[in-house]
Chains A and B, each alone.
Chain A
């Protein structure tokens, strides 16, 4: 019996994978190559691009997208979308600003209330999804529209205009600004604090994805929900957690928005949800879930940052920006499709 079994095993022994194939299997590969290409292009055509100040600007632009692209990528790996992610940032900023302005003299009250309220929005998305079983596209499209309306409506109602009042003279403002919207000097380089938030979130998300039980579950609920459930993975809890992650990112972004500009434009954020999704997809996340990485999403955000600022440094017509990104997105998706075909090809 065992001799027979060994003989059978002999026949189906697998060829070891070459290092090259391993590299091709990394979800970030496409985005890293893309980022290098974009970097080279602008390093050549834009004289100012390689200056430290310019790179700081690029990193800042990348971080404002990246802070959201990371949790959005995790959610996408978990098999879901959040179309409300863009306006949720604005909502978070508005809540913080209005609570501070209307009820207290200290901005930290607003910041904390905003955290709770934004997490509640994420919880709403997550519960609606898991309770109804409707596609997240529909549910978060609903939240997106509702929040867009609420942002404008409430702001108009309370402050009479489309923007909030400035909170720059309130207690706690300097400290909050230091945390969410300051510029630090690190080894002679001026670095926006959002860049640190961004790097921190990427590190945290990567740790969660690759080294924790929760990460295993995120890949599983996105890659095969029913299979995951059958082996005892708490599918609902995992998905709700992912929506809370997006809400947390929206809170950080929202606080940055508020403390960077002192006021919040209530119509802002619409359309950004697609940019976050695009960054995640360029970074190798599969739209269908189950595959991707936080580092990839960060590189996707970096491509956005380099492109949006590089076009300015190169003195091109900024109208080309969106075209360029659309092309990047399509290329990345094609590459991802190809990778998935290779990975999924069953013997």
Chain B
């Protein structure tokens, strides 16, 4: 497969020296000495008087998956928005390659190689797949008034990139809204990988999906990891997290409720911590008194 970046005019949006097609290199390039790709330390974010985040730290290394777990309202999306440059943190440190950074926009995050797949996927349902794929970073041909989209490159790259993700789209002209949820997630991931992402941030990619589709998406996450990307996977499903994560960060009402490496914690323990341990015991006690277990207790 030839790299689409052989076309000179296409490279304008990407920082020098980074190529998305680094097949040969895996994430094991970073020993203990190299700083992590991305590091947050004691980050805080307030919405007016609402404290959405307080003292949250997180590390992302190349070829690893960092899972952010938390209940609804725990601050997961807020954390993502800080990482992706949509919001600025109010306190704490944001480091990329060990250097402190302040992002001014999603564009500046992209320029640093931090690509985010939002919950709504940042896709335009009525637009064809290939237009969505390149939206915001369109390759062009020609100069001046004759500058035009490189439609052929756009179509063929889209098809090729999706094929590499295991999706065989025969028609890249169909509106992206006609794809299934898992496929759309995969397109979003393929797009991020293609545009030279080093850090891939995914906000609840499996939340709205069935078991099978969620499996498809988790495979793409693993594929991106294997290509050497650092992945931040946000989810409230400990089962999904446990399948792919190298480290876990637990959020609870905007604060850190724990940080663990993959080997240090079992799925049961993770689930228990997620659900808030004693709170869950209390809840089950409470439910038992008001509603005796019936035939549908397991649904």
CB within 8 A of B122: which of A6, A8, A9, A227?
A227
Given A5-B219, A8-B216, A13-B168: A213 and B138 interface contact (C-beta under 8 Å):
yes
Contact status A347-B106, CB under 8 Å = no
* B-chain residues with CB within 8 Å of residue A6 when the two chains form the complex: 166
Contact status B106-A230, CB under 8 Å = yes
Min C-beta distance of B7 to chain A, whole Å:
15
* A-chain residues with CB within 8 Å of residue B19 when the two chains form the complex: none
Stretch in A39-47, A91-99, A189-197, A217-225 touching the partner: A217-225
Contact status A230-B174, CB under 8 Å = no
Is A216 interfacial (CB 8 A cutoff)? yes
Give CA–CA (A224, B120) in the complex, Å. 10
Q: CB-CB contacts of B39-51 with A at 8 A, as 1s and 0s?
A: 0000000000000
Interface size class of B (residues with CB under 8 A): 35 or more
* A-chain residues with CB within 8 Å of residue B138 when the two chains form the complex: 213, 216
Is B110 interfacial (CB 8 A cutoff)? yes
- Closest B residue to A286 by beta carbon equals B126
Q: CB-CB contacts of A285-296 with B at 8 A, as 1s and 0s?
A: 010001100000
Min C-beta distance of B64 to chain A, whole Å:
17
Min C-beta distance of A332 to chain B, whole Å:
17
Give CA–CA (A6, B163) in the complex, Å. 10
* B-chain residues with CB within 8 Å of residue A134 when the two chains form the complex: none
Contact status A216-B126, CB under 8 Å = no
Contact status B125-A224, CB under 8 Å = yes
Contact status B120-A12, CB under 8 Å = no
Q: CB-CB contacts of B103-124 with A at 8 A, as 1s and 0s?
A: 0011100100000101011111
- Closest A residue to B216 by beta carbon equals A8
Most B CB contacts (10 A, CB to CB) among A14, A213, A231 go to A231
Q: CB-CB contacts of B181-203 with A at 8 A, as 1s and 0s?
A: 11100000000000000000000
Give CA–CA (A12, B165) in the complex, Å. 13
Contact status A233-B180, CB under 8 Å = no
- Closest B residue to A8 by beta carbon equals B216
Given A220-B127, A343-B178: A16 and B170 interface contact (C-beta under 8 Å):
yes
Min C-beta distance of B267 to chain A, whole Å:
21
- Closest A residue to B124 by beta carbon equals A223
Give CA–CA (A2, B138) in the complex, Å. 30
Contact status B178-A347, CB under 8 Å = yes
* Residues 1-27 of A contacting B (Cβ, < 8 Å): 1-2, 4-6, 8-9, 11-14, 16-17
Min C-beta distance of B291 to chain A, whole Å:
36
CB within 8 A of A232: which of B110, B121, B175?
B110
* A-chain residues with CB within 8 Å of residue B121 when the two chains form the complex: 227
* A-chain residues with CB within 8 Å of residue B148 when the two chains form the complex: 207, 211-212
Contact status B170-A230, CB under 8 Å = no
* B-chain residues with CB within 8 Å of residue A211 when the two chains form the complex: 148-149, 151
Min C-beta distance of B219 to chain A, whole Å:
6
Contact status B106-A229, CB under 8 Å = yes
* A-chain residues with CB within 8 Å of residue B223 when the two chains form the complex: 5
* B-chain residues with CB within 8 Å of residue A213 when the two chains form the complex: 138, 140, 147, 149
Min C-beta distance of B78 to chain A, whole Å:
15
Stretch in B53-61, B87-95, B129-137, B278-286 touching the partner: B129-137
Closest 6 CB pairs of A and B: A231-B136, A232-B136, A223-B124, A347-B180, A5-B166, A230-B122
Some 11 contacts from A to B, beta carbons below 8 A apart, are A11-B212, A211-B149, A213-B147, A223-B124, A224-B122, A227-B122, A228-B135, A230-B84, A232-B107, A290-B127, A343-B177
**Residue positions of B touching A, CB distance < 8 A:** 84, 86, 105-107, 110, 116, 118, 120-127, 131, 134-138, 140, 147-149, 151, 166-171, 174-175, 177-183, 212, 215-216, 219, 222-223
**Residue positions of A touching B, CB distance < 8 A:** 1-2, 4-6, 8-9, 11-14, 16-17, 207, 211-213, 215-217, 219-220, 223-224, 226-233, 286, 290-291, 340, 343-347
Known contacts A8-B166, A216-B134, then 4 further A-B pairs from the complex at CB < 8 Å, ordered by chain A residue: A228-B136, A233-B136, A343-B125, A347-B183
